[in-house]
Chain A
């Protein structure tokens, strides 16, 4: 069997999952903080809390899953990324720790503190920025394999147009996806005031989203021409992504089918993300890690695949249960308790 492809598909799918759920999570934290500043918090905070409370740990697991999986399927990544990312990844970890912990501290403290709300609101925007550095580095050019091991060219990374465009893409993605999700969630809660507020946020972020994604393409052309040219072979995926975005924005603007609109947002990112991923192959880290030569030994790859399938059999029903209880249960979403199970 073709383990290197199975591995990369599984991992890419989990990274996609993480981008969606983490964007919702991080953005919701930021909007929660922002609404406290503008005094809109009595409108929007209850909705955000009701969604975030039961799922915040689950978000984190998607991330753990991704990095444990990538080291499992491609152990070389531990060596290259591990060495190169000591400082950037440590910063991301500290931010993640502050966010995760202070989110919980704030929800369980007697009265929430504004400074703690600030901590998890703002780290929510900084984390995607710092994590996206790993994707930037994967395009090659920032790591040199010298005689004494791997060295990260930190200076080159800090002054790179491509690097910064990806950082902004990450931040805008967070605000765009989460406001889109919150619009859908507020619509389910039939809370019109909250709906109008988040719908406005979503529409505000749609335009920069469009700009920054074009900008990233231009940056990629400058930075890794080979990858840029391969990406053009998959132009139709990027086209579909654009169409999905158009439908999503249209539906939101006309206040119709918010559920469908959010599915379109998910499709928009799915097309773009898989298009980017496919055109990137066969490299996980250009030009050092090639999926064909760095895959783990057969016995381990086989058992990882089996465990993965068994794991999914457990996870999918449990995730469905979570969604039924906290996402599609109208009574819960509206904040009423019910004893119907």
Chain B
């Protein structure tokens, strides 16, 4: 294998692994912020127990998120040194700000976890959630601006390979920043809510602790509300992304839709198989003119086709599958949240086992949607590392030993991932929520330390 491929696979495996924990890291603070709020507000320490349990499990995932985040931060310079030298002139600011946000979050998370019973007024403890949610969301915002810059560079002029008129803010808030930030943040919230919903539903189906059912039902109710709102916003974000790509990165839109000829009334292709030689698509579901409508809100929008893009600037056509997976799994979560609410407000039992199986799927499928979304976004800007300025092949390191590095890191991720799952299972498997509740708040529902 040549170094470009190894470098890409190594970066992809680090990011692919990190993204799972990063998404939980961004989304989960909102979940326990809401639960703690409900607990204090309703003077119901069942919510508080749940918030505390989730925060405890969250810490284990944060640990993996922190170390893999450190890895990708340094790996950018180790694998793509020339890109970082070049891009360092422009992207240093958001990277620096991301570290501040992360610092801020780390400090308050440390305080939050070890002060549950130390404040006389429990609302003071709740206030600690604010810097955690702000910090984790802002680090997602800043790091997304870096990635957006690589897709749509802005904020500088390049004269004879030297940067002039550098405007750090224009580089940060480049054309694609807003849409992508919105998309990243709301999908992280969606995923976190659905992960907890999955666990609650799974426990309702399988748990041997019958006394916990009330907790799981409460958790499910809250998570489905958060999930419904966040998933609806994710769908909106997806729609905005399509319109954005149409305007600014037509080659990505064309490749993910297998759209070859520039035309109006362009069809939307769902699923299917492609013969790359003949550009023939088979077994697909074709929605007439829908692509034009998605791209520009009207059926006669002209959508650029791949044949109008120079051959060596075309993204790989495989991204269509990632696109389908992302949309399908994203829509699945939204639909399930709607079904839950319909079942709840009609006579139908929202905890019917058949429905519970559906809820169990929402978490894993949301994570799968996040992964395929990132694969789509990253593969979709190939062959560029900095779109229009630097190709991936020009940026890879010329140091020796990239192959062995890849093997070492992949093994590390396997071991870390397995241990993380093991610890989380051991933490919650044999201990019922009710037992935790007794330990934390005694046997009366007196709202913990509520005055």
Where the two chains meet, the residues of A that have a C-beta atom closer than 8 Å to any C-beta of B are 53-55, 57-58, 60-61, 63-65, 67-69, 71-73, 75-76, 78-87, 89-90, 93-94, 96-98, 100-105, 108-110, 148-152, 296-297, 299-300, 303-304, 307-308, 311, 314-315, 318-319, 321-322, 325-326, 332, 337-341
B398 within 8 A of A: yes
Render B75-95 as a binary contact track against A, CB cut-off 8 A, 1 for contact: 101111110111111101101
Q: For residue A58, which residue of chain B has the nearest CB? A: B106
A62, B136: Cα distance in complex, Å? 17
Instruction: Name the A residues within 8 Å of B379 (CB-CB).
Output: none
Do the beta carbons of A75 and B399 come within 8 Å of each other? Answer: no
B74 within 8 A of A: yes
Contact partner of A322 (CB less than 8 A), chosen from B75, B82, B110, B426, is B110
Instruction: Name the A residues within 8 Å of B102 (CB-CB).
Output: 61, 64
Do the beta carbons of B167 and A100 come within 8 Å of each other? Answer: no
B35-43, B118-126, B228-236 - the one binding chain A? B118-126
Main SS at interface, chain B: helix
Do the beta carbons of B71 and A75 come within 8 Å of each other? Answer: no
Closest chain-A Cβ to B96's Cβ sits at a distance in Å of: 5
Do the beta carbons of B96 and A308 come within 8 Å of each other? Answer: yes
B268-276, B383-391, B400-408 - the one binding chain A? B400-408
Do the beta carbons of A304 and B100 come within 8 Å of each other? Answer: no
Interchain Cβ contacts under 8 Å between A and B, 5 examples: A67-B73, A85-B78, A87-B405, A311-B100, A322-B107
Instruction: Name the B residues within 8 Å of A67 (CB-CB).
Output: 73-74, 77
Q: For residue A103, which residue of chain B has the nearest CB? A: B63
A257, B341: Cα distance in complex, Å? 64
Given A97-B416, A303-B93: A341 and B409 within 8 A (CB)? no
B342 within 8 A of A: no
Do the beta carbons of B78 and A89 come within 8 Å of each other? Answer: yes
Do the beta carbons of A90 and B408 come within 8 Å of each other? Answer: yes
Do the beta carbons of B97 and A341 come within 8 Å of each other? Answer: no
Instruction: Name the B residues within 8 Å of A315 (CB-CB).
Output: 100, 103-104, 107
Closest chain-A Cβ to B178's Cβ sits at a distance in Å of: 20
Q: Which 7 A-B pairs have the closest CB atoms?
A: A75-B88, A72-B92, A104-B63, A82-B81, A78-B84, A82-B77, A79-B85
Most buried by B among A53, A303, A340: A303
A54, B397: Cα distance in complex, Å? 38
Closest chain-A Cβ to B195's Cβ sits at a distance in Å of: 18
Instruction: Name the B residues within 8 Å of A54 (CB-CB).
Output: 110-111, 113-114
Instruction: Name the A residues within 8 Å of B85 (CB-CB).
Output: 75-76, 78-79, 82
In the complex, besides A57-B63, A71-B92, A83-B398, 8 extra interface pairs with C-beta distance below 8 angstroms are: A69-B99, A75-B92, A83-B397, A97-B70, A101-B63, A296-B88, A318-B108, A341-B120
B54-62, B210-218, B368-376, B433-441 - the one binding chain A? B54-62
Do the beta carbons of B168 and A300 come within 8 Å of each other? Answer: yes
Do the beta carbons of A109 and B408 come within 8 Å of each other? Answer: no
A103, B420: Cα distance in complex, Å? 12
Q: For residue A301, which residue of chain B has the nearest CB? A: B92
A263, B397: Cα distance in complex, Å? 43
Do the beta carbons of B412 and A94 come within 8 Å of each other? Answer: yes
B66 within 8 A of A: yes
Do the beta carbons of B84 and A71 come within 8 Å of each other? Answer: yes
Main SS at interface, chain A: helix
Given A78-B81, A100-B66: A58 and B107 within 8 A (CB)? yes
A44, B419: Cα distance in complex, Å? 27
Do the beta carbons of A73 and B56 come within 8 Å of each other? Answer: no
Do the beta carbons of B166 and A297 come within 8 Å of each other? Answer: yes
Q: For residue B116, which residue of chain A has the nearest CB? A: A337
Do the beta carbons of B104 and A300 come within 8 Å of each other? Answer: no
Instruction: Name the B residues within 8 Å of A85 (CB-CB).
Output: 78
Q: For residue A341, which residue of chain B has the nearest CB? A: B119
Do the beta carbons of A71 and B399 come within 8 Å of each other? Answer: no
Do the beta carbons of A318 and B104 come within 8 Å of each other? Answer: yes
Closest chain-B Cβ to A79's Cβ sits at a distance in Å of: 4
Closest chain-A Cβ to B374's Cβ sits at a distance in Å of: 21
Instruction: Name the B residues within 8 Å of A64 (CB-CB).
Output: 69-70, 73, 99, 102
Contact partner of B423 (CB less than 8 A), chosen from A81, A84, A109, A297, is A109
Do the beta carbons of B63 and A300 come within 8 Å of each other? Answer: no
Render B8-38 as a binary contact track against A, CB cut-off 8 A, 1 for contact: 0000000000000000000000000000000
A149, B397: Cα distance in complex, Å? 9
Do the beta carbons of B427 and A60 come within 8 Å of each other? Answer: no
Do the beta carbons of B92 and A93 come within 8 Å of each other? Answer: no
Closest chain-A Cβ to B251's Cβ sits at a distance in Å of: 28
Do the beta carbons of B449 and A68 come within 8 Å of each other? Answer: no
Do the beta carbons of B88 and A71 come within 8 Å of each other? Answer: yes
Contact partner of A86 (CB less than 8 A), chosen from B89, B100, B167, B405, is B405
Instruction: Name the A residues within 8 Å of B59 (CB-CB).
Output: 104, 108
Given A75-B92, A296-B88, A314-B100: A90 and B81 within 8 A (CB)? no
Q: For residue A94, which residue of chain B has the nearest CB? A: B412
Q: For residue B112, which residue of chain A has the nearest CB? A: A54
A101, B66: Cα distance in complex, Å? 9
Q: For residue B85, which residue of chain A has the nearest CB? A: A79
Q: For residue A90, which residue of chain B has the nearest CB? A: B405
